[in-house]
Structure 1
Amino acid sequence: MRFGLFIPQGWRMSLTDVPPEQHWETMLSLLHYADNAASGEAVPGGDWAWDSVWVYDHFHTVPVPSTEATHEAWSLMAAFAASSQRVKLGQMCTCMAYREPTYLAKVASTVDAISGGRVQMGIGAGWYEHEWRAYGYGFPTAGERLRALDEGVQIMTRMWRTGSSGRFDGERYQVDGALCYPQPLQQLPVGDGGAAVPSIPLWIAGGGEKKTLRIAAQHAQYTNFAGRPDEFDHKSRILADHCRDLGRDVDEITRSANYNVVIGENQAEVDDKLAWIEAHYTKHVSAERGAQEVESWRNGPLVGTPEQIAETLTDLKARGMTYAITYFANAAADRDQIELFQRQVVPHLQD
């Protein structure tokens, strides 16, 4: 199993206790920490603790929009690329309709060049209605958003592989001859045993059973959907059905999930961490919303002692979930939970 780490960028009110002039320093410090962990240099947990770091592609905070900072994802991708050496760089996930696919392909390819070939393209249809409308994107129907995802992925893949969009006449996008140079530094094989061509790994996010998982079966190198065991099993079966219909081996696709992690040496420590989360949110939202937020954390699959979390992940790995992207609520202020996870969970699951 491989592991990714979310960098606190503000979207989940993760920088509210940090002065604005220290936001970048805070993010950069954790990036360097994970980058060193990727090389096994004097970091608790041993070699290759973190395969990747991640941010969210959002503009307004949750659980409610606020004036607290949310740093823009692709600006951070470029900054992370120039400020790290080893760790992979992803967004979970980029909203297809926030940027034209021709432009997004060009941006991602440029960042891949800056990073030396480490960009991961998390991509999805988008859902945060308040944000869409506030930024003037309207809020298309789910079907229209999924059509944009499908067509956009086709355009980006073509641009990365060939250097040009060619002519594409879709229902949502019409492009003709958009060039993409530099092409990505990364190389991915095309077809069964085909030659490698320039491209960027696609992480298609979402568990929509009729459309999203079919798009993933067609185009993805990675999926990202529900992380609870029963839900994961169900979505995996749907993905396998789509792959079978399309003549693709489902094992070509790495299945990942995102997890809120609350970890302590014992139950008392876990309870203290949950109390901190509730207190943190109720400084910025109503007591009712704060209680709802902590309840969603409390019921997550990766809440408990290292032994409990390792057991859960071992079970998920057996089900086919081989890439966990982790979020720690207090990461901006304290790495205690990250280090405990590295020392006592990661070694049990690493390939």
Structure 2
Amino acid sequence: MRFGLFIPQGWRFDLTDVEPADHWKTMLSLLHYADNAAAGEAVPGGPFAWESVWVYDHFHTTPVHSTEATHEAWTLMAAFAAASQRVRLGQMCTCMSYREPTYLAKVAATVDHVSGGRVEMGIGGGWYEHEWRAYGYGFPSAGERLRALDEGVQIMASMWRTGSSGTFEGQRYQVDGALCYPQPLQQLPVGADGADVPSIPLWIAGGGEKKTLRIAAQHAQYTNFDGSPEGFAHKSEVLAQHCKDVGRDFDEITRSANYNVVIGENQAEIDDRLAWIDAHYRKHTPEHAEGQIESWRSGPLVGTPEQITETLQGLKDQGLGYTITYFPNAAADRDQIELFQRQVIPELQD
């Protein structure tokens, strides 16, 4: 199993206790921590690697919009690329309709060069209605948003692999000869004959069973969907059937999931950390606090290192290949990150 780490960027009210002038310093410090771990260097908690760091592609805070800062994802990708050496860089996930796919392909290819070939392209249809309308995108139907996703990944893949979009006449996008030079540094075996060609790994995010998982079966190197044991098993079955239908080898796709992690050496520590989450959300989003707190308490990765390892081992046995973790209060307190890194990751890493 491989592991990624979300960097607090404000979207989840996770920079509220940091002075605005210190936001970048806080994010950069955690990036460097993960980058050193990716190199196998001795960092607090042990030398076990985080393979990647991640941010969200959102403009306003959730579960309610506010004037608290939310730092923009692709700006951070470029900054992270220049400020790190080893750790891979992703967003979970970029909203296809927030940027034209031609422009997004160009941005991602440029960041891939800045990073030395470390970009992961998480991509999805988008869902945050308030944000869509606030930024003037309207809010198309789910079908329209997924049509944009389907057409957009085809355009991006063409631009990365051949340097040009070619002529594409879709229902959502029409492009003719948009160029993408430089092409990505990364080489993936996605050519027509299985040969390596310039490309960036595509993570198709979302568990929609009729369309999203079919798009994933056609185009993804990675998926990202429900990480509960029951949900993961079901979505995996649906993805496998889509792969069969489109003639894709199911084992070519690495399945991933995102998790809120609350970890402690014992129940008292776990309770203290849940109490912090309770107080945090009651302070910043009192009208949504109950739902947020329940979501944290009922998550699959709440427990001691032994309990969390057991849960993840069961998911690994079901085919989970990549775990992306989000820790509360990571901006100020790395104790939980270090405990997870020290006692969970070594038990599960391939």
Q: TM-score range by the shorter chain?
A: over 0.9
Instruction: Please state if 1:38 is matched with 2:46.
Output: no
Instruction: Specify the alignment match of 1:251 in structure 2.
Output: 251
Give the Cα separation in 2 of the matches to 1:142 and 1:20.
35
Question: Which residue number in structure 2 is paired with residue 5 of structure 1?
Answer: 5
| 2:84 maps to amino acid | S
Query: Aligned with 2:168: secondary structure?
Result: strand
How far apart, CA to CA, are the structure 1 residues paired with 2:48 and 2:56? 23
User: TM-score scaled by structure 2?
Assistant: 0.99
Matched residue, 1:109? 109
Note if 1:160 corresponds to 2:160: yes
Task: Give the unaligned 5+ runs of structure 2.
Answer: none
* 3-state DSSP of counterpart to 1:123: strand
Deviation at 1:77, TM superposition (A): 0.1
1:324 aligns with 2:327: no
Shift of 1:192: 7.8
Task: Indicate yes or no: 2:280 matched with 1:280.
Answer: yes
How far 1:32 sits from its partner (Å)?
0.1
Letter in 2 for 1:330: N
Aligned runs of 1:253-268 on 2, under 5 Å?
A: 253-268=253-268
Aligned equivalent of 2:20: 20
Is 1:270 paired with 2:285? no
For residues 152-191 of structure 1, the C-alpha deviation after alignment (integer angstroms, 9 at most, x for no partner) is: 0000000000000010000000000100011000000125
2:188 is paired with a residue whose SS is strand
- Write out per-residue CA displacement over residues 39-70 of structure 1, whole angstroms, 9 at most, x where no aligned residue: 11112454442000000000010111000000
Shift of 1:291: 2.2
Specify the SS of the correspondent of 2:172: coil
CA distance in 1, matches of 2:97, 2:58: 12
Q: Which residues of 2 match residues 111-150 of structure 1 at below 5 A?
A: 111-150=111-150
Structure 1 unmatched ranges of 5 or more: none
In 2, are the aligned partners of 1:260 and 1:328 still within 8 Å (CA)? yes
CA distance in 2, matches of 1:193, 1:303: 45
Aligned length: 350
User: How many angstroms apart in 1 are the aligned matches of 2:47 and 2:25?
Assistant: 25
**2:313: which partner in 1?**
314
Deviation at 1:309, TM superposition (A): 0.2
**Structure 1 vs Structure 2 CA RMSD:** 1.0
- Which residue of structure 1 aligns with residue 333 of structure 2? 334
Deviations 1:198-218 (A, max 9, x none): 000000000000000000000
- Give distance in 1, aligned partners of 2:322 and 2:164: 32
Tell whether 2:49 aligns with 1:49.
yes
Q: Name whichever of 186-195 and 291-300 sits farther off.
A: 186-195
- Bigger mean CA offset, 37-46 vs 325-334: 37-46
CA distance in 1, matches of 2:172, 2:31: 37
The 5-angstrom pairing of residues 58-73 of structure 1 reads 58-73=58-73
